[in-house]
Structure 1
Amino acid sequence: MATRARARDWAYEDEAGRPMVTECFDRVPESVAEARRLVTEAMAKWQMEAVADRVELVVSELATNAVLHTRREAFRVTLRRLGDHAVRIEVYDFSRTMPTLIAAGAHQVHGRGLALVDALSQRWGTDRLPWGKRVWAHVAAPTAYEPPGLAQPDEAPIWATRKSQAVYVGVVLVAMGALAYGMRSR
């Protein structure tokens, strides 16, 4: 098994009194799945299902980077609950090489991990430490930070005010009239 500590102690709190969990993993590919299990357990324990998928994906990407690009035999994952809808993720490793967000080409196998972290996080960054680095990300449930009324790409826009609804109906009627007039003139 890739996990160094077998039993998880859920009694941890950080210096601000927030619930946290932390665990060390061997730097082997199997540890990425173990880190995801840590997230699954923490999100269930903290009743944070709304953010669980995002946190799991971000941890998976950061743990994969630690396995692929760092030195020494281990890395650490720490999760801190930041409220009812947000989590701070920290991945510590012994490499001082800072991660770089790059634009991966269509045929490249690697290089998209930090782009996913960037897309799923409110913010993320790195801190250089005397013995390595910490890569961190703040992840929140979609409703916790996305402005209301913005449509997802596959959804119709939400028209929240009467004025915007009237403008929308007017535009649709004008477009329909133009189409009808165009059809008659042929």
Structure 2
Amino acid sequence: MSSFTASIDLPSRASSVPLARRLVRDVLHTWHAPQDREDAELLVAELVANVVDHAGGGVLTLELGLAGAWLRIGVVDGSAVMPVVRALSLTEERGRGMRLVAALSDRWGAEEHRDGKRVWFELAPAGVGEPAEL
């Protein structure tokens, strides 16, 4: 199986959210990645939006890797504050991003990285683990 990697630095501002989505869509298309691209786009948008909202200005790094059939996407920023999966609130307008990441990804995590952190998720190929059609 082939392995691919890509990394790009983006400014930590709101305009990077749709840009990150578009980059993920284009890279996964180019790689012929078997993952659900809409899930990957949604999850990367949540991670980048979290950096914009919580990590302050500067630069973030979008990392993509396809190893065999597994896709791993990470976002690196300069804040050491780790993400938190908040309790669901019906009154708050925000704060559901990491719940989405936890629910839609096959695996996710956060780790220290230099002077900040890397938050990542992994997606299996679309259809893995689903029951066969009768």
Q: Normalising to structure 1: TM-score of the pair?
A: 0.66
Please list every run of 5 or more consecutive structure 2 residues that lacks an aligned counterpart in the other structure: none
More strand by share: 2
Q: What displacement does 1:50 show?
A: 4.3
Q: Percent identity?
A: 33
Measured in 2, the distance between the counterparts of 1:21 and 1:77 equals: 8
Tell me if the contact between 1:92 and 1:135 (Cα under 8 Å) persists in the aligned partners.
yes
Which has more radius of gyration?
Answer: 1
Which residue, 95, 107, 127 being the options, matches 2:91?
107
Measured in 1, the distance between the counterparts of 2:67 and 2:98 equals: 22
1:25 and 2:10 correspond: yes
More helix by share: 1
- Greater relative contact order (CA < 8 Å, ≥ 6 in sequence): 2
4+ aligned runs moved over 6 Å, structure 1: none
Measured in 2, the distance between the counterparts of 1:50 and 1:94 equals: 29
Q: What displacement does 1:49 show?
A: 5.7
Q: Could you report, residue by residue, the CA deviation over 1:114-163 in whole angstroms, capped at 9, with x for unpaired residues?
A: 1110111111000112310000111123412x2525xxxxxxxx7x7xxx
Please list every run of 5 or more consecutive structure 1 residues that lacks an aligned counterpart in the other structure: 1-16, 150-157, 161-186
Match of 2:66 in 1: 81
Q: Could you report, residue by residue, the CA deviation over 1:62-116 in whole angstroms, capped at 9, with x for unpaired residues?
A: 01101111034111111101224x3101100000000000123112111110111
Measured in 2, the distance between the counterparts of 1:50 and 1:26 equals: 26
Match of 2:112 in 1: 128
AA matched with 1:140: A
Tell me if the contact between 1:104 and 1:110 (Cα under 8 Å) persists in the aligned partners.
no
Tell me if the contact between 2:25 and 2:41 (Cα under 8 Å) persists in the aligned partners.
yes
